[in-house]
A and B are shown apart, each in its own frame.
Chain A
Amino acid sequence: MKHIKTINSSTLSRDVKKAGCGECQTSCQSACKTSCTVANQKCERK
């Protein structure tokens, strides 16, 4: 494309059927704890 560049290939809905196994780390978002915004967490399945 000439006017638009898409920067990521895989999108949120890719794994919707397998989502929610719950094995991932919990992520407190407040200042006092582990600080991660949820979006930087790893999925345990990969």
Chain B
Amino acid sequence: MIHAYKMHGVNIVLDVNSGAVHVLDDIAYDVLSCYDQDGTLDEQRLTSLNHKYGAEEIKEACNEIETLKKENLLFTSDPYSEYIPLWTKKTVVKALCLHIAHDCNLRCSYCFAGTGDYKGARSLMSLEVGKRAIDFLIENSGNRRNLEVDFFGGEPLMNFDVVKEIVYYARQREKEANKNFRFTLTTNVLLLDEEKRAFINEHMHNVVLSLDGRKEINDEVRKRVDGSGSYDRVLPLALKMAEERKDKDYYVRGTFTRKNLDFGKDVLHLADVGFTQISVEPVVAARDSGLDIRQEDLKTVCDEYERLAMEYYQRRKNGKWFNFFHFMIDLEGGPCVAKRLRGCGSGTEYLAVTPEGDLYPCHQFVGQKEFLLGNIFDGLNNSTIREEFIESNVYTKPQCNQCWAKFYCSGGCAANSWQFNGDIKIPYDIGCELEKKRVECALWLKTQEVEV
């Protein structure tokens, strides 16, 4: 399978199974369009190019295409199928999302957690539950050494003493258990004072700072309890945190909705005010909010991604470097294929823990009783649902199996699939279109950066 497209005047071809990316001139691009997806040349179609190009050039282009086929860089077959059973067998748990607080000091209108309480009672995780979650992770991680714990909410800074104690406890247990814990924290920044920043800088591998971009955009959605906007409080604190991170990871993360389809401006705004690690993404699982991206918005959003890609390229070239997470792609290394076909690992290697200790496939499923997988005290028990997640990969989802972006997207978000299609194996089509556009932009950027 190949994917051929044009962006900003560049003809790009991705060979799906090998991951090889090629830039073609117009002749080669037109000649390639005379090949079927399985790599056979349709001679009849080829003759239709005779009025456009000389016979010699057409032949040259054909020869080059045939050479790439021989070198296994074009129209390659899928070499992975025999390995799939090996890669998708039952796996251990390696990451937990701890819902430290089902409470929040913001009232964002798109919040999937229903302003922090996940449609349940507002509650905080106790230290007892937190410690048991660490034990549960160690016990269920088999030989896996690197374990991850994400402090999430609601707003985790509303229960920060427990966060600290959990970190100390995990650090104490990791040595005897021969594990290496990595902590991350996702926060709305409101309570990010100096002491908390210092702790985060010392212990957290990554910190995610929520801010949507331009003040008027942010404040329209990310409101404080009294209804006022959060931008003025959040921006200086988030910038301080970013500056203090030094060599450690952070990123500022915004959400765009159908109210700001010109979200590229928000990305650039975040760069202008001084952030260098930026992620701005379409709202997720907000079907009934009126904020979700719709079919009729797709063209606008895709054009916006292309424009952003161009501006991003220009800025990076001209000394105004920043990173936009969705345009990052590693064509030389990157994750192995096994990871690429399984994606996020929700419900298998990644689980979410509620303040009470209940287990769910991921933070987005929390509170949906049919997805309750057990709890950290008695262990995992809902094996039917768990099986469904274990079996789910780009080969078992029919749409993904046919999709050229499968090794970059990895099958999308199960929570989105569930919310929009009632089935974790049927991807959310709007999410797919956006994902494919982002991959196209990322590949285009690569073609520019190598100066072909």
* Number of cross-chain contacts by CB at 8 Å: 212
- B340:A33 contact, CB within 8 angstroms: no
Residue of A2, A19, A27 with most chain B CB atoms under a 10 A cut-off: A19
C-alpha gap A12/B339 in the complex (Å): 11
CA distance A11 to B20 in the complex (A): 6
Q: Are A6 and B337 in contact (CB under 8 A)?
A: no
Main SS at interface, chain A: loop
- Determine the chain B residues whose CB is within 8 A of the CB of A8 once the complex forms: 19-21, 331-332, 446
Interchain CB contact under 8 A, A7 and B80: no
**Cα separation A19 to B326 with both chains bound (whole Å):** 24
Cβ contacts under 8 Å, B95 to chain A:
25-26
In the complex, are the beta carbons of A40 and B329 less than 8 A apart? yes
Contact across chains for A3 and B24 when beta carbons are under 8 A apart: yes
List residues of chain B with CB within 8 A of the CB of A4: 22-25, 28, 61, 64-65, 68
The answer on a CB contact under 8 Å between B339 and A32 is no
Contact of B23 among A2, A5, A33, A39 (CB under 8 A): A5
In the complex, the answer to whether A39 meets B146 with C-beta atoms within 8 Å is no
Asked whether, in the complex, the Cβ of A16 is within 8 Å of the Cβ of B83, the reply is: yes
The binding surface of chain B is classed by DSSP as mixed
Tally B residues with Cβ within 8 Å of A: 92
- State in angstroms the CA–CA spacing of A20 and B326 once bound together: 23
When distances are taken between beta carbons in the complex, the residues of chain A under 8 Å from B121 are none
**Chain A nearest CB, measured from B193 CB (Å):** 24
Contact of A43 among B17, B57, B336 (CB under 8 A): B336
Interface size class of A (residues with CB under 8 A): 35 or more
* B73 lies within 8 A of A25 (CB): no
In the complex, A19→B331 CA distance in Å? 16
CB-CB contacts below 8 Å: B155-176 with A? none
- List chain A residues, Cβ under 8 A from B412: 29
A19 with B23: in contact, given A6-B68, A39-B407 (CB under 8 Å)?
no
> For the complex, what is the distance from the CA of A27 to the CA of B57, rounded to whole Å?
45
CA distance A1 to B317 in the complex (A): 27
Residues 125-162 of B contacting A (Cβ, < 8 Å)? 144-146, 148, 150, 152
Which stretch (B36-44, B194-202, B236-244, B280-288) binds chain A? B280-288
Within 8 A of A (CB), among B55-92: 57, 60-61, 64-65, 67-68, 72-73, 76, 79-80, 83, 86-87, 91-92
Out of A15, A35, A37, A42, which one reaches B329, CB within 8 Å?
A37
Contact of A7 among B281, B408, B409, B447 (CB under 8 A): B447
Q: Are A22 and B22 in contact (CB under 8 A)?
A: no
Given contacts A10-B333, A37-B438, A41-B335, contact A30 B21 (CB under 8 A): no
Given contacts A40-B325, A40-B329, contact A6 B64 (CB under 8 A): no
Q: List 29 A-B contacts (CB under 8 A).
A: A3-B25, A7-B21, A8-B331, A10-B332, A12-B337, A12-B340, A22-B338, A23-B145, A25-B95, A25-B148, A26-B345, A28-B350, A29-B410, A29-B412, A30-B281, A31-B281, A31-B283, A33-B152, A36-B328, A37-B410, A37-B438, A38-B410, A39-B334, A39-B439, A40-B334, A42-B330, A43-B334, A44-B146, A46-B333
- Known contacts A28-B344, A37-B328, A37-B408; can you find 18 more A-B pairs with CB under 8 A? A1-B64, A3-B28, A3-B60, A4-B25, A7-B331, A8-B20, A10-B333, A13-B18, A24-B335, A26-B95, A28-B362, A33-B97, A38-B335, A39-B407, A39-B442, A40-B325, A40-B329, A42-B334
Q: List B residues at the A interface (Cβ < 8 Å).
A: 17-25, 27-28, 57, 60-61, 64-65, 67-68, 72-73, 76, 79-80, 83, 86-87, 91-92, 94-95, 97, 112, 144-146, 148, 150, 152, 182, 184, 186, 206, 208, 251, 253, 255, 279, 281-285, 325-326, 328-340, 343-346, 349-350, 362-364, 407-410, 412-413, 415-416, 435, 438-439, 442, 446-447, 450, 452
Q: What are the 9 closest A-B residue pairs judged by CB atoms, nearest first?
A: A20-B338, A12-B19, A19-B336, A3-B28, A40-B328, A8-B331, A31-B281, A19-B338, A26-B95
B-contacting residues of A (Cβ < 8 Å)?
1-13, 15-16, 18-44, 46
